[in-house]
Amino acid sequence: MSKLLHDNGLAATANVLTESLALRQPPVAICFADSIPAGVDSPANRVSAGCRFWEDAAHKAFFTTAVDHSLCAIGVYTHNLQPSSNFQTDLGDALGVFNQLGYVREEDIPAIPVLPSRHQYVIYSPLVESPLPPEVVLLFVNASQTLMLCEATQQVENETPPAMGRPACAVVPQVLKTGRAALSLGCCGARAYLDILTDGIALFAIPGKNLDTYVQRIQVLAKANSTLAEFHKLRRREIEAGGTPTVKESLAAFAAAI
């Protein structure tokens, strides 16, 4: 992400994302650091898993340590956080149950993204309040919003984003390791811990370093989708009324209607 965007444009960027996509929850910024930014406090509550911080970060900036993530061994693993004395036991117990259920088999484990480097702190905040240049921007999205995000990713990256499943927290190292956007369909754990992650909602993660490029395409494509949706609605009405308009005729009717 450009320094100019961080210094002068986070509010504008967050506003464009929120308005273009009609987001219900503000975009969330995730950063990794080895020192605590000035004015950033620790989280207000203990959580069952680190993914819960994504929802809490829509309201306030805070820093977390490995201790704050310690109740979810999977999250500690994917985020390469400093393990506690109980970590290996908890991780082994969790993976053992997952394997028995056929949920995560032993051969699946190497494919789970893990952060390549370890940091002391994970900083969560609303994008507009990010105290550091955001490394990952996380959006809670429905299918319609995901459509525009995938179209933008195709234009920025020349390929579609991966659609990931369990664990939901792996979307963060996925984006950081590849430098590319990714869709997470969540996991059963995240859907139990996050109130906002209802059946119709997924997660979309954008790499912070190219945030301005993604936002520019999202803004254009959101406007295009809105315009084209109205055009197609008009054309449907014409055809269902018994007409057989050409595209040119429908375009003329659309232009006259707006």
10 φ/ψ sector (left φ>0, alpha ψ -120 to 50, else beta): alpha
Q: How confident is the model at residue 8 (pLDDT cuts 50, 70, 90)?
A: low
204-258: pLDDT as tens digits:
999 999 999 999 999 999 999 999 999 999 999 999 999 999 999 889 988 898 8
16-30: pLDDT as tens digits:
999 999 999 999 999
**Burial zone of 45 (CB within 10 Å; 0-12 exposed, 13-18 middle, 19+ buried):** exposed
134-159: pLDDT as tens digits:
999 999 999 999 999 999 999 999 99
Cα separation values, 245 from 101, 225, 232, 250, Å: 55, 21, 12, 6
Please state, in angstroms and rounded to a whole number, the distance separating the CA atoms of residues 135 and 31.
5
Helix, strand, or coil here: 79? coil
Please state, in angstroms and rounded to a whole number, the distance separating the CA atoms of residues 163 and 185.
7
Whether residue 51 has pLDDT greater than 90: yes
Q: What is the pLDDT of residue 91?
A: 85
Q: What is the mean pLDDT of residues 75-89?
A: 88
| Residues in a beta bridge with 79 | none
Whether residue 185 has pLDDT greater than 80: yes
93-140: pLDDT as tens digits:
888 888 888 888 889 888 999 999 999 999 999 999 999 999 999 999
Which residue type is seen at 170? A
Q: What is the pLDDT of residue 7?
A: 47
Please state, in angstroms and rounded to a whole number, the distance separating the CA atoms of residues 132 and 80.
20
